[in-house]
Amino acid sequence: MKYQKNIIEKCIFENKLLIKKKLSIQTFSNVSIKINKNHFTIKPSGMRPEDIEIKKCPIVKISDGKKIVGSYNPSTDTPTHQVLYKKYPQLTSIAHTHSTYATAWAQSGKSIPIYGTTHADYWKSEIPVTNFISKKKLNNYEVNTGHLIIETLRKKKLNPNNCPGVIVSGHGAFTWGKNHTDAVKMSELMEFIAELAYFTEQIKVKNKIPQYICKKHYERKFGKKSYYGQKK
């Protein structure tokens, strides 16, 4: 296939943003971007974004997760991204982070409660946490992490459109979106929401926000009669 330099450059830039926005340190995170309906590119395994050479970047098939281009090994989390792209073809970018507050919630094994309209502007409900992966599924760990995310959304009756990210028990956060920049944007938003929820619980909640207010805030941005932002 034709080498997609512009998409790979965007992918490297988005990976750099995670560091710049303090959503990751060292090589803990990864962003992938879909090139077309059949392929995506992702940060190479164990590399800092600033050290990546564009022509060596991996391109991976969505159908089976196999690398077809690039001398670098793709991120070890590539199978998780592949499973999500295959299940949800509307996704264009996926980010995986170990940001401080989102990961703290993941390590606690607790979903991030919806305490206010800041949260409700982008997530229709709580930010769900998955179960721990079972011991018998460890041999195919990254693939089964993807299936665990899918199963969590199914059980909660959510989808990637109204739930742009989840936290994986004991691990970290996965976010996604419909364009090249959405995944990192949602990672930043999730971290902010996770921090607010943490401090809200320290203060102690007196009256939890009514669901109808949360619904109003979500729908004014994403509902059928949304009116947030500028008219095109």
Residues with a known catalytic role = 121, 228
3-state secondary structure the chain: CCCCHHHHHHHHHHHHHHHHCCCCCCCCCEEEEEEECCEEEECECCCCHHHCCHHHCCEEECCCCCEEECCCCECCCHHHHHHHHHHCCCCCEEEEECCHHHHHHHHHCCCECCCCHHHHCCCCCCECECCCCCHHHHHHHHHHHHHHHHHHHHHCCCCCCCCCEEEECCCEEEEEECCCCHHHHHHHHHHHHHHHHHHHHHHCCCCCCCHHHHHHHHHHHHCCCCCCCCCC
> Per residue in 119-153, is it b (16+ CB within 10 Å) or e — as a string?
bbbbbbbbbbbbeebeeeeeeeebbbbbbbbbebb
131: tokens are 């179960």
What phi, psi does 173 have (nearest 5°)? -110, 145
